[in-house]
Amino acid sequence: MLIRTTAAQRRLPASSGGNPPFITARVQSSNNLLDQIAFSRGRFTVETSGTAALAIPIWPEFTRVVEDCRK
């Protein structure tokens, strides 16, 4: 899985499964990728092979969730 933000891009190991199908990647709450996503300008993208890229808007709730997970 490739995550692209305004400041960086990072590959993460991903796994898939389920019904309906899903793809997941895990990061620790201390990972600075979460900060890069939170402070990205407007949106970030998630890309995996075999699927269309997702452009996801950054809303304040994401930043609040990251802050809460770090407490």
Residue 71 CB contacts under 8 Å (≥ 6 apart), including other chains: none
Tell me the percentage of the chain whose pLDDT exceeds 90: 86
Whole-model pTM? 0.84
Integer Rg of the chain from CA: 13
Average pLDDT, the chain: 93
Closest CA to 26 of 12, 36, 45: 12
The predicted pLDDT at position 23 comes to 92
Q: In this predicted model, what pLDDT tens digit does every residue of 20-54 receive, in sequence order?
A: 989 999 999 999 999 999 999 889 999 999 889 99
The predicted pLDDT at position 19 comes to 93
The predicted pLDDT at position 26 comes to 94
Q: Enter the tokens of residue 17.
A: 């499964």
Alpha helices in the chain (DSSP H): 32-38, 60-70
The predicted pLDDT at position 24 comes to 94
- Cβ-contact 5, 40 below 8 angstroms: yes
